[in-house]
Amino acid sequence: MALSPKEKEALEFIEAYFVDNGFPPTVREIGEAIGFTSKSSVYKLLRRLEAKGYLEIVPGEARGLRLIRPARGIPVLGKIPAGEPLIPYEDFEEVLPVDPSFFGEEKLFALRVKGDSMVGAGILPGDLVVIRVTEEAKNGEIVAAVLTEPEAEVTLKRLELKDGTLVLKPENPSYEPFVFEKEDVARGRVKILGVMVGLIRKGKG
């Protein structure tokens, strides 16, 4: 859903505040930033942003805002805890100054590639991969998945589905695939976070 100028201004302020401070602003701080003197007016604006799917209001907390979808870029996520029902956008490390609509209207996030397990697909260490949030993926797509055992770990691999078995295959013969049977998936040992839709490689120097 499109944002009004004031909604966009407020959301961009909230995002910038998160980046600078690691936690969300108060209603008063948002009002001061966008020129609203009434707290009720700020609350109404925040509820509109919540209805449009950009943030979640946590009742009873002075800084009870949770970012769900960015307005001006694509968040680069660091640690993603297992079992989270939503991608935790407040845990982003930075925001890529890339228009999300370039990749469609879906919810997006980015991950920084660590290691060389996907070099055969042209994905190098340090690259940023753009992920479309979805729990469903097709055979052969490159997916971001969270492995919950022995501890939460996010991995980027090619998905292979065979007779109910879910396989996460590397694109490097030096690495072994992750194989999950039906019962593993049912137990939540693996969860698809999204499908890769783009790659950004920052130049050196």
Does residue 101 carry a catalytic annotation?
no
Question: What are the backbone angles phi and psi of residue 181, rounded to the nearest 5°?
Answer: -80, 175
Query: By CB neighbour count within 10 A (0-12 exposed, 13-18 middle, 19+ buried), where does 60 fall?
Result: exposed
Distance CA 145, CA 136 (A): 11
Residue type, 84: E
157 catalytic? Reply is yes
Catalytic residue among 38, 40, 114, 117: 117
- Extended strands (E) in 54-137: 55-57, 65-67, 74-77, 92-96, 108-112, 128-133
Choose, from 39, 52, 114, 157, the residue flagged as catalytic: 157
Q: Please give the positions annotated as active site.
A: 117, 157
